[in-house]
Amino acid sequence: MKSKALWSILAAGICFALTAQAAQAAGDEVEGKKKFFTCGGCHAIEGYANAYPNYHVPRIGGQQQAAVLAALKSYKTGDRIHGDQPLNNSMQGNASGWTDRDLEDIAAYVSKRTLSTEANAISGHPDKAKEKSALCAGCHGVDGNVLDKDGKALNQDALRLAGQYEDYLIKALKDYKKGVVRKNPIMVGIAGSLSDEDIKDISAYFASQKGLTTISE
């Protein structure tokens, strides 16, 4: 009981801190669809994966608008890099050519995609992640869809994790644990407390939920 209470307190505090860093999202969905063509070569192909290191390009259809915008702005400024080598950063290369309005439009388009109604394929053990995943629930929701127990939105800024590729979630958490490619201090602290087995189980849990989808139009 004490352990569960501690997880709940930590989750609430983390969510408050992340929300305080919120990005204000606005944008035109119609214009965003036109501009998304530069993203479609990777993000509009179901099952598409990087050659090295090998992991799936993330599903972003139905992702939270403010979260997408915050990520794109981080790529544009160089605060976040794609890949392990700063000079091989395709996302920064793309984002740097867009205006802030372009980023807002793309984020608006991405966020309006219909969520998947099918469970994602997994290889891990989601049943083992119940207690550890509680640390994520305060911001990302119990099932990773950023909803509370009554189905109401927790906040507009946290990433939707439900339905994301399992190997992408593993890669993201390991990158946070290293603190080089992904540097958010809160997530670095959380990931640093997780073992490799924890990371695999938590990733399997959120990947097994219904949520994000590949943008196919």
- Output the CA–CA distances (angstroms, integers) from residue 148 to 9, 86, 139, 179, in the order listed: 16, 37, 9, 29
The 10s digit of each residue's pLDDT in 122-178 is 998 999 998 899 989 999 999 999 998 888 889 888 999 999 999 999 999 999 999
49 three-class SS? strand
* pLDDT tens, residue by residue, 174-199: 999 998 888 889 899 999 999 999 99
Check residue 119 and give its pLDDT.
80
pLDDT for position 114: 94
Q: How many CB atoms lie under 10 A from the CB of residue 24?
A: 10
User: Under 8 Å CB-to-CB from 191, ≥6 apart: which residues?
Assistant: 173, 174, 176, 177, 199
Give me the count of residues in the chain.
217
Whether 3 shows a pLDDT value over 90: the answer reads no
pLDDT digits (tens, 9 = 90+) for 61-96: 999 999 999 999 999 988 887 765 555 577 888 888
Residue 90, judged by CB atoms within 10 A of its CB (0-12, 13-18, 19+), counts as middle
Complete domains list, the chain, with CATH: 2-207 (1.10.760.10)
Q: What is the pTM of this model?
A: 0.85
